[in-house]
Amino acid sequence: MKTPRSLHAELMYWLGGYAVLLTGAIALHGFLVNEFAENLVWESLLTRELEHYLERKAEDPTYNWYDTDALQLYSVPGRKPPPPLSGLTEGVHDSFWLGDRETVVLIRHWEGVEYAMVLDITELEAREATLTLFVLGLALALVMGMGALIAWGLRRSLRPLSNLAQDIGALAPDRAGQRITAGDKASSELHVIASALNDYLQRQEEFVERERVFNDTASHELRTPIAVIAGASELALEQPGLPPAARHQVQRILRTARSVEQLITLLLTLAKDPARLARNNDTVLLHELLLEIIGDHRHLMQDKALTIVVDGLAPCAVEAPLHIVQVAIGNLLRNAIENSDQGEVRIRLDAGATVTIEDPGHGMTSEEISRIYAQIARGGGREGGGIGLELLGRLCEHLGWTLSITSTPGKGTLSRLGLSDRK
């Protein structure tokens, strides 16, 4: 991702561009005014000289014109002008080159005679070029000076905003009591922003504290009665002479209690920061844990013509919370068993700590698969329930795991759970 420019750089870019455009516009305006004024001066000067000559000639027919180094007069008939002047229209022709000399030429017709007055401006143009370079250099120096002044002013003006941005960037979500200050030289708008952000930080701390209290309370107050129910169910199942119907119901109570206990564990996990969870990770031997999970779920196949086939369990270890791994894999296996009537549920452990479970069950349509990926949910209630793919999907997203599901109606479902952290 491209790093965005700072506000200082953005303002320097636009103000610098404005300064360059303004200087260019002023320079262009000066050039056009200079050319226009210069043309008026040449026309006025040459016209005045020609009229003066014509007046003297009218008063004294013997009056003769004498050329100077800079000014020459030609007439037709009479003194024929140089060939380059032939064919010029009447008027003033600025920057007309005669050989290596730059001139201004005035062409005027008077009483059937064409006059051409030529003024050599080579030296004047050289001085004008020097002056132009000086003006351009001065303009460049002015732009650079303005840029330096603007940069200094912006840096000084934006320093409180930069400090405020640094303070905001240094805020840590796991620290309480953090506040930011705008500084004495900050503008009133920055003080308003700092005050609003501090108010938000305070409300956020209160919210986090309420969440922490709720999680701690829920962890204790919800798990305790569930543990009592599970313990009482286990004791009841150990009693001799328990009628089969009652034993079936007690077993159902025990399974439901264990499922609710897993659900509470998962919900509390989702409420915690992944970094905090990572500090309490266990080294989980997946190839051994899978066999334990399979053994815990065999009772679900008692009334079905199902078998579990383990294709391969290469030694594999991951760093993750043990109870969460058990819940995640156990939920996928439960779904596979409960949605299948007969055949083989195949389990394997692939590279990258990926658990693959393939069932011969009812399968799902493409619409149902799309709904799973769109909503991270799987419709349809099931006895015993498990935690559901909705929560499992959220758990994988929370911990950086991957979950993919492919299915064909009537041919079963293939689930892959990748337990390697992708963050």
pLDDT at 2: 64
Spell out the SS3 assignment of 101-152: EEEEEEEEEECCEEEEEEEECHHHHHHHHHHHHHHHHHHHHHHHHHHHHHHH
pLDDT at 421: 57
State the amino acid at position 61 in one-letter form.
P
Q: Residue 367 has what DSSP assignment?
A: H
Q: How far apart are CA 106 and CA 91, in angstroms?
A: 6
State the amino acid at position 196 in one-letter form.
A
pTM of full prediction above 0.85: no
Are the CB atoms for 195 and 179 separated by under 8 Å? no
Are the CB atoms for 250 and 242 separated by under 8 Å? yes
> Look-up: residue for tokens 């998962």?
266
Written as one string, the DSSP assignment of 371-399 is: HHHHHS---S--TT--SHHHHHHHHHHHH
In three-state secondary structure terms, 6 is: coil
Residue ranges per structural domain of the chain:
7-142, 275-418
**CATH superfamily ID and name for 275-418:** Histidine kinase-like ATPase, C-terminal domain (3.30.565.10)
pLDDT at 381: 39
Q: How far apart are CA 239 and CA 257, in angstroms?
A: 19
Q: How far apart are CA 181 and CA 195, in angstroms?
A: 8
pLDDT at 391: 74
Question: Hey, what's the torsion of the CAs at 45, 51, 53, 58, to 10 degrees?
Answer: -170
Q: How far apart are CA 249 and CA 229, in angstroms?
A: 13
State the amino acid at position 174 in one-letter form.
D
Distances (CA, A) of 228 to 215, 242, 267, 287, 323: 20, 20, 20, 32, 19
> Pick from 405, 404, 415, 376: which is nearest to 392 by CA?
376
pLDDT at 372: 58
Are the CB atoms for 412 and 359 separated by under 8 Å? yes
Q: Which parts of 297-405 fold into alpha helices (H)?
A: 322-338, 366-375, 388-399
Buried b (16+ CB within 10 A) or exposed e, 368-388: bbeebeeebbbeeeeeebbbb
User: In this structure, are strands 282-285 and 113-120 parallel, antiparallel, or unpaired?
Assistant: unpaired
Give me the average pLDDT of each 10-residue run along the chain (423 residues): 70 81 84 86 90 90 87 83 86 88 90 89 88 86 84 82 84 81 82 89 84 75 83 87 86 83 76 69 87 86 86 84 85 86 88 87 69 49 50 80 83 86 50
CA–centroid distance for 165 within its chain: 17
Are the CB atoms for 198 and 179 separated by under 8 Å? yes
pLDDT at 374: 57
Are the CB atoms for 309 and 275 separated by under 8 Å? no
Are the CB atoms for 161 and 6 separated by under 8 Å? no
CB within 8 Å of 268: residues ≥ 6 apart: 215, 218, 219
Report, in angstroms and rounded to the nearest whole number, the Rg of the chain calculated over CA atoms.
Answer: 47
Q: How far apart are CA 372 and CA 364, in angstroms?
A: 10
Q: How many helices (H) and strands (E) does the chain have?
A: 10, 11
State the amino acid at position 368 in one-letter form.
E
Question: Which two tokens mark 227?
Answer: 């543990």
Question: Which two tokens mark 36?
Answer: 């226009």
28-72 confidence digits (pLDDT tens): 888 888 888 888 988 899 999 999 989 998 898 888 888 888 899
The interaxial angle of helices 388-399 and 244-270, nearest 10 deg, is: 30
pLDDT at 277: 67
Phi, psi of 166 (to 5 degrees): -65, -40
Are the CB atoms for 376 and 390 separated by under 8 Å? yes
End-to-end CA distance of the chain: 17
Number of other residues whose CB lies within 10 A of the CB of residue 3: 5
